[in-house]
Structures are given as structure tokens and as C-alpha cells.
């Protein structure tokens, strides 16, 4: 259940909070109040993994009437998760998982700025799908209509980044469910092109007249029926589609790794959910642009993925369709501290302890991703039982970080 926190003025929309209000950092609370006070805001829902972001908090949902804030959406447009259940069980996996990890690293380019040159996109078939992924031609036609200053001459590079993980906390994992079933899971978004498009529109928004007296320049908005809004929407929805396809290509490459080892392996239908994106939705007859910034859609029956950390479990969930939360749920456990703070507080030894039993990197480069730098995923799940029900509880045995 939620607590309602009043906005800063009488005209502000209410802030519905699925986090304990006392546990929310003061800077995050300030960001929530700023958003609630914007004249275009129709409602704000705060997820239990909430923490400070740029302009708006991560782990929140903003519904606006006739407006959208590009900085609130953020630079990794369409970032999200994909997962698929395989027919394999734990006993079939080799005792030494390091070889499997190496094969995954060889099959899917990981890290910033890495490219592919050899994937034939027309052949990509998402695991569990009956037909290859279609619509590539229309998709690339869409690319040619994007913001010219950002994309001129870049199509080659953008297509080479399709099917690549990126850096940071993007990851690929092999997980086991409570029955020993093997799942593949991954986290990524719209790579360099999403970032460039977002950065461009964020700059444009700052110059517009309606954004000159905002409490935070990162809350600048585009308004309905303006050319700037039309351009942003075109680029935003294209980047969201890029992210969806990017994850589909990687899940296919990942599944191919298993197919080589286990020719008879089969896959259930894949699950894919964005957790940084915009959707047009209607609540009580009001049409709104819903920004899920570190939140997933959890409409009645929607399947979603809520990851924990590189050493704690993750969850496959089914949405309960709670309109008070604009049909949403948390996108993860959420950070407990900044990356800098984590590097100060934890050592490689701590990382080794907290990722015991996981075949993953255990070097200084990933100490800022240590499970202790994230909130406790179990407590986060316990706070959203009116938003989602748990379908499967997963625990990783292999984790490849970007």
C-alpha cells in the first residue's frame, strides 16, 4: 500500500509513495516535490526502489498532461530487461561455469563503444518466437528520419551497435529458479544513439520559454502540439524500439551459445520490459504521457522483470494493474549509495564475499556494483505486493557485467 505525501503547493498533484517516506533521501524528496508542482503533472507514483536521479528520481512514475520532460526520461532511452526460461535444469550445467561465461562474453560484445560487424539482423529469431524478428526495413527507414544533426552519416555505427550490451551495470546472466530451471536474462538499452538523441532534445528543451522559471532546469518539458514535441516523440519512440530490438538480438545470440552446447534446448516465450521510457496511457478518461524512470509497466497480467544485484536474486513478476501507481512497479532494488560511496566503503574482498557462488568479475572495476551498494530486494518486493505478484524467483550463477 502507499502513503500520500502532499506536494509543495495547493495546486500540486499528490505524490503516492510505495516507499517508506522516512527512508527517502532528502534530495530525492525535493525532486519529487519539484515534479509534483509542475503545472503539467497529473500524478506522481514513487516506487520502493526510489533514489535521486537527474531532475527526477529513479524509481518513479510521472504522468503528465500534454507534456513530457526529456531529462526525466533520461539518456538511456528504453533501458530495460529481457529474460527467457530454457528447458535446461541446473544439473545439466557444467560444474565449471567459467567456460560458459567466456562463451557468453565472446558471443555478445560487452563494454562501452563495442561493435558488431557480423550479425545478419534478418536472421534474428528471439528464443521462443515462431518467426524471425520482422520490420527491420521500416525500422531503418525510421532512422533516416531522425534528428539530422545527431544522426548524419552514422547509420553504419548505429547498426553495428545493435546487439551489444554497453557498459556500466548492463549485464547478461544465467539464473536458476526455485525448481532448478535455467533462465537467461539481460539488461541493456538504446546504446550510443539513444544517448545522443536524448542529449540533443534535453538541450533543446532548456531553451524553450515555458522552462525559464523551473525549480530545476533538468525538468524542462516539451508541450503538446509544438514542433519540438513532435521531433522528440519521433526520436524517443524510435530509440525505444532500438532498445527493444537490441535486447532481442542479444537474447538470440545468448540462446545460440546454449544451442551449441545443448542442441535440444528449447525456450519459452521471451519476456521484455523497458524501465526507462514513455507510454501514452489513459486513466479515468484522462490521456497522459507516462514516464517510467526506473519503473516497469505492471498492468493487469503484464509480465515484468525486477533484478536485484550481481549477488542477490531477481524476480519475474505479473502486474496486478494498480491504477493508483499508473500500472507500474519498481525496476530493481535501486541504489542505496552512489558509486563513489560504494568504492569508498567496500573492497574487492567484500565483493568476493557478496558474490559467492556467482561466476563473475571480482575486480576493483566492479566494486561499485557490489550487492551492498543496492537496497535489499526482498524488502523492495514486500512493499509492492499490491502492484505485482511473483511468478518466479531467480538466482544468478553466471553474471557478465558490461
Q: Which residues contact 148 (CB under 8 A, 6 or more apart)?
A: none
> 76 or 359: whose CB is closer to Mn ion?
76
Where does this chain bind ligand 5GP (CB under 6 A)? 49, 58, 79, 169, 171, 173, 275, 294, 307-310, 314, 331-334, 369, 374, 396, 399
Q: Which helix (H) or strand (E) holds 28?
A: helix 26-37
- Are 70 and 55 within 8 A, CB to CB? no
Q: How far is the CB of 125 from ligand 5GP (least distance, A)?
A: 25
Write the DSSP assignment of 277-302 as a string of letters: EEEEEEETTEEEEEEEESEEE--TT-
The item of ligand 5GP, Mn ion, none sharing an interface with residue 314, based on CB under 5 to 8 Å by kind, is ligand 5GP
137 a catalytic residue: no
Bridge-partner residues for 58, per DSSP? 51
> 247 or 331: whose CB is closer to ligand 5GP?
331
> 134 or 378: whose CB is closer to ligand 5GP?
378
Mark residue 289 as left, alpha or beta (left: phi above 0; alpha: psi -120 to 50; beta: remaining): beta
Which residues, 48 to 77, sit near Mn ion by CB under 5 A?
76
Q: How far is the CB of 25 from ligand 5GP (least distance, A)?
A: 15
Helix spans in 38-97 (H):
70-73
The item of ligand 5GP, Mn ion, none sharing an interface with residue 12, based on CB under 5 to 8 Å by kind, is none
φ/ψ of 364, rounded to 5, equals -55, -25
User: Angle 227-261/191-206 helices, nearest 10 degrees?
Assistant: 160
- Select which of 51, 200, 275, 331 is catalytic: 331
Q: How far is the CB of 188 from Mn ion (least distance, A)?
A: 6
Q: How far is the CB of 158 from Mn ion (least distance, A)?
A: 17
The item of ligand 5GP, Mn ion, none sharing an interface with residue 189, based on CB under 5 to 8 Å by kind, is Mn ion
> 33 or 335: whose CB is closer to ligand 5GP?
335
> 151 or 272: whose CB is closer to ligand 5GP?
272
| Summary count for the chain: helices (H), strands (E) | 11, 17
The item of Mn ion, ligand 5GP, none sharing an interface with residue 41, based on CB under 5 to 8 Å by kind, is none
CA distances from 128 to 228, 254, 369 (A): 39, 13, 31
Nearest residue (beta carbon) to ligand 5GP: 332
Look up residue 264 and give its three cell numbers: 535440444
Q: How far is the CB of 53 from ligand 5GP (least distance, A)?
A: 9
Look up residue 275 and give its three cell numbers: 524501465
Lookup result for grid cell 548492463: 170
Contact residues for Mn ion (CB under 5 A)? 76, 79, 189
> Catalytic residue positions?
331
Amino acid at each position: 500500500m502507499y502513503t500520500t505525501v502532499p506536494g509543495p503547493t495547493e495546486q500540486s498533484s499528490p505524490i503516492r509513495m510505495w516507499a517508506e517516506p522516512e527512508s527517502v533521501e532528502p534530495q530525492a524528496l525535493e525532486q519529487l516535490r519539484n515534479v509534483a508542482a509542475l503545472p503539467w503533472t497529473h500524478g506522481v507514483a514513487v516506487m520502493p526502489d526510489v533514489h535521486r536521479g537527474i531532475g527526477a528520481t529513479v524509481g518513479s512514475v510521472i504522468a503528465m498532461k500534454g507534456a513530457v520532460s526529456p531529462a526525466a526520461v533520461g539518456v538511456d532511452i528504453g533501458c530495460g530487461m529481457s529474460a527467457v526460461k530454457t528447458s535446461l535444469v541446473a544439473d545439466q550445467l557444467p560444474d565449471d561455469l567459467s567456460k560458459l561465461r567466456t562463451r557468453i562474453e565472446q558471443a555478445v560484445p560487452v563494454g562501452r563503444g563495442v561493435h558488431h560487424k557480423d550479425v545478419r539482423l534478418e536472421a534474428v529469431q528471439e528464443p521462443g518466437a515462431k518467426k524471425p524478428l520482422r520490420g527491420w526495413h521500416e525500422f531503418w527507414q525510421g532512422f533516416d528520419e531522425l534528428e539530422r544533426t545527431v544522426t548524419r552519416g552514422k547509420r553504419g555505427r548505429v547498426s553495428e551497435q545493435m546487439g551489444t550490451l554497453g557498459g556500466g551495470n548492463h549485464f547478461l546472466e544465467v539464473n536458476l529458479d526455485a525448481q532448478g530451471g535455467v533462465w537467461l536474462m539481460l539488461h541493456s538499452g538504446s546504446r550510443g544513439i539513444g544517448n545522443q538523441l536524448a542529449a540533443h532534445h534535453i538541450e533543446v528543451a532548456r531553451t524553450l520559454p515555458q522552462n525559464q522559471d523551473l525549480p530545476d532546469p533538468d525538468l524542462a518539458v516539451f508541450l503538446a502540439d509544438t514542433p519540438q514535441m513532435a521531433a522528440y516523440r519521433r526520436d524517443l519512440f524510435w530509440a525505444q524500439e532500438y532498445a527493444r530490438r537490441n535486447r532481442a538480438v542479444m537474447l538470440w545470440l545468448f540462446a545460440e551459445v546454449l544451442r551449441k552446447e545443448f542442441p535440444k534446448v528449447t525456450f519459452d516465450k521471451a519476456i521484455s520490459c523497458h524501465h526507462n521510457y514513455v507510454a501514452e496511457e489513459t486513466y479515468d478518461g484522462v490521456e497522459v504521457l507516462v514516464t517510467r524512470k526506473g519503473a516497469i509497466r505492471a498492468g493487469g497480467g503484464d509480465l515484468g522483470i525486477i533484478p536485484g544485484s550481481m549477488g542477490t536474486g531477481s524476480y519475474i513478476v505479473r502486474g496486478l494493474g494498480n491504477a493508483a501507481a499508473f500500472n507500474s512497479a519498481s525496476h530493481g532494488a535501486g541504489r542505496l549509495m552512489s558509486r563513489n560511496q560504494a568504492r569508498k566503503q567496500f573492497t574487492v574482498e567484500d565483493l568476493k564475499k557478496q558474490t559467492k557462488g556467482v561466476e563473475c568479475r571480482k575486480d576493483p572495476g566492479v566494486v561499485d556494483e557490489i550487492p551492498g551498494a543496492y537496497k535489499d530486494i526482498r524488502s523492495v518486493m514486500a512493499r509492492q505486493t499490491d502492484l505485482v505478484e511473483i511468478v518466479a524467483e531467480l538466482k544468478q550463477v553466471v553474471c557478465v557485467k558490461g
